Amino acid sequence: MRHFPLSTTRVAGRLIAALLAVGALLGLGAAEAAAGDAGPAAAPPAPTFTFTHGTHNVLHGSARLTGFADVIGWQELDSRAAQQRLRVLMGYRSYIPMGGGGAVSISWKASRFELVAQGSVLTHKGRRGVSPNRYVNHVILQERVTGKRVAFVNTHFINGAWDAGRFPNQSWRQKKWRHHYRILKDQVAALQRLDGGRMPVFVGGDMNRRHRVRLGTDMPPGLRRGEISVDQLQHTTDRVQLLAHRVGATEGSDHAQQVATYRVL
């Protein structure tokens, strides 16, 4: 497992180069060479796998943490006690960065996936009484049965940027929200370029805006109808089929769990 700490807003360009270098080192971007002189033969069907991806804002760690999906992105997991509860969540392993990045940790079922790489980017510094530091985290996981690798991104945008009149410092909030968006979009694109440009990427988080955050990805229709939820799940479309979406429990939070089921081809 390789760790790629990415800790300032100045690393957006280096992030892309580093992820591409990771792909080369891990063999994610190179095709296997043909072996022998044998004639063409019918290729066996490519293995596929199905899994669930979820996101949950746990209200500053006060909500109950449950294993409601195979891979889960958490938001507001911002207390040591909550992070410790996550470390012992039965059947799961978690990426919990040191410092503020631990608020947007990512968990996965250890029986389903093995960690290949991980990283955390500070999108912008916070301001006392307004917002904490904000981050984008990612992991690359390998599904144990098929050997396929997939990437997951989790984040939590600053609040109040688009709620007219409800919060002070709105222009500052909007500036930081837009900067966060650019870094998130760049990271999704960089991850997708791995595996010969076909890495499946799954994004989850609290976007703190009731509009679809456009990342060159798709999202479950249930999250696009009516007033769009701030809690969003998105996915790249190459080698990915969306099978289902549901809204889960709140478990004591002011946000409900969002869960999507996918097939990776």
* Distance of alpha carbon 53 from alpha carbon 152, whole angstroms: 9
Question: E strands along 147-209, which residues?
Answer: 149-156, 201-206
What length does the chain have?
265
Question: Token match 């390998």: residue?
Answer: 142
* Distance of alpha carbon 87 from alpha carbon 107, whole angstroms: 9
Which tens digit of pLDDT belongs to each residue from 20-63? 555 555 554 444 444 455 566 777 778 999 999 999 999 999 99
β partners of residue 106: 73, 95
Single pTM value for the model: 0.86
**pLDDT classification of 134: cutoffs 50, 70, 90:** very high
Residue 5, pLDDT above cutoff 50? no
**pLDDT classification of 97: cutoffs 50, 70, 90:** very high
**Whole-number pLDDT of residue 43:** 73
Fold observed for domain 2-26+47-264:
Deoxyribonuclease I; Chain A (3.60.10)
Domain boundaries, the chain: 2-26+47-264
Q: Is 112 helix (H, G, I), strand (E, B) or coil?
A: coil
- Chain centroid to CA 193: how far? 16
Q: What one-letter code names the amino acid at 83?
A: Q
Residue closest to 65 by CA, chosen among 46, 84, 48: 84
* Distance of alpha carbon 107 from alpha carbon 1, whole angstroms: 15
Residue closest to 241 by CA, chosen among 263, 259, 218, 219: 263
Which tens digit of pLDDT belongs to each residue from 140-175? 999 999 999 999 999 999 999 998 778 888 999 999
Kindly give, in sequence order, each residue whose CB lies less than 8 Å from that of residue 226, ignoring residues fewer than 6 positions away: none
Which tens digit of pLDDT belongs to each residue from 215-259? 999 999 988 776 789 999 999 999 999 999 999 999 999 999 999
